[in-house]
């Protein structure tokens, strides 16, 4: 005759493992949500930087700006003809 229930220790072990899996799945979901929030913030930051760069380009022209001290260097436009190989 088959038993109707598993042993108490087996049940407790089974329940603990299922609870652990459920907790880990919850944490993975929370991490995925946080990841999406960070990615959205990153995209916003990139867009804001690009907007500022375009505004600075309108004011100062084609320059390189040192982000540490704000100094400006003109970007020398390279003549494409000098870069062509004969």
Secondary structure (DSSP) of 9-74 = HHHHHHHHHHHHHHHHHHHHHHHHHHHHHHHHHHHHHHHHHHHHHHHHHHHH-SEEE-TTT--EEE
The tens-digit pLDDT sequence of the chain (86 residues) is 568 999 999 999 999 999 999 999 999 999 999 999 999 999 999 999 999 999 999 999 999 999 999 999 988 765 554 555 55
Quick one: residue 74, left, alpha or beta (phi over 0 = left, psi -120 to 50 = alpha)? beta
In a domain, 2, yes or no: no
pLDDT of residue 75: 85
Q: Answer whether residue 1 is part of any domain.
A: no
- Structure tokens belonging to residue 79: 């003549």
Tokens of 59: 């004011």
Residue 3 lies in a domain: no
Which residue range is the domain that position 24 belongs to? Answer: 8-80
Structural domain contains residue 31: yes
Total of domains in the chain: 1
Whether residue 52 lies inside any domain: the answer is yes
- For residue 26, the model assigns a pLDDT of 98
Is the Cβ–Cβ distance between 71 and 65 less than 8 Å? yes
Has residue 63 been placed in a domain?
yes
The pTM assigned to this predicted structure is: 0.66
């Amino acid at each position: 005759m088959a038993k109707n229930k598993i042993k108490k220790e087996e049940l407790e072990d089974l329940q603990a493992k299922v609870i652990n899996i459920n907790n880990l799945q919850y944490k993975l979901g929370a991490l995925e949500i946080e990841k999406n929030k960070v990615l959205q913030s990153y995209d916003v930051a990139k867009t804001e930087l690009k907007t500022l760069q375009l505004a600075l380009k309108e004011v100062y022209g084609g320059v390189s700006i040192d982000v540490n001290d704000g100094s400006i260097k003109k970007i020398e436009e390279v003549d494409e003809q000098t870069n062509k190989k004969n």
